[in-house]
Amino acid sequence: SYVLTQPPSVSVAPGQTATITCGGENIGSKSLHWYQQKPGQAPVLAVYDNSARPSGIPERFSGSNSGNTATLTIKRVEAGDGADYYCQVWDSSGDHPVFGGGTKLTVL
């Protein structure tokens, strides 16, 4: 089964840029999605197809995907961006979705 690896935690000061990575074998060949989950809430799609933003997601959120690493970048981080972030791809060998282990973003 395809494995996605995320750092457990990332910390950033308000106004700075947060970078959350998601690693996987040749992940750049896959379409990758990011979900934001705030405490006590259901996940929300934040970025899809590597770099597209759903309506309602601020332009500060962007994504990239190449080689063995995908990246979610949040510019000008705000206190409200503090959340867990999960990456997800379709495992083509198993023919099903796979989530990463999640990254807790702490805004200092």
Partner 1 sequence: QITLKESGPTLVKPTQTLTLTCTFSGFSLRNTAVGVSWIRQSPGKALEWLALIFWDDDKRYSPSLKSRLTITKDTSKNKVVLTMTNMDPVDTATYYCAHTSLTIMDVWGQGTTVTVSS
Segment 62-66 long-range contacts (CB within 8 Å, at least 24 positions apart): 63/32, 63/34, 65/27, 65/28, 65/30, 65/32, 66/28
x/- map, 77-106, partner 1, by CB under 8 A: ---------x-xxx---xxxxxxxxx----
Stretch that binds partner 1, among 12-20, 30-38, 56-64, 66-74 (CB under 8 A): 30-38
Q: Which of 16, 23, 45, 60 binds partner 1 (CB under 8 A)?
A: 45
Looking at the Cβ atoms of 5 and 16, the one nearer to partner 1 is: 5
Beta carbons within 10 angstroms of residue 19's beta carbon: 13
Looking at the Cβ atoms of 1 and 26, the one nearer to partner 1 is: 1
Q: What are phi and psi of 28, to 5 degrees?
A: -65, -15
Q: What are phi and psi of 63, to 5 degrees?
A: -140, 155
Beta-ladder partners of 48: 52
Task: Name the minimum Å distance from CB 46 to partner 1.
Answer: 11
Beta carbons within 10 angstroms of residue 106's beta carbon: 12
Stretch that binds partner 1, among 13-21, 35-43, 56-64, 65-73 (CB under 8 A): 35-43
**Contact residues for partner 1 (CB under 8 A)?**
1, 31, 33, 35, 37, 42-45, 48-49, 54, 86, 88-90, 94-102
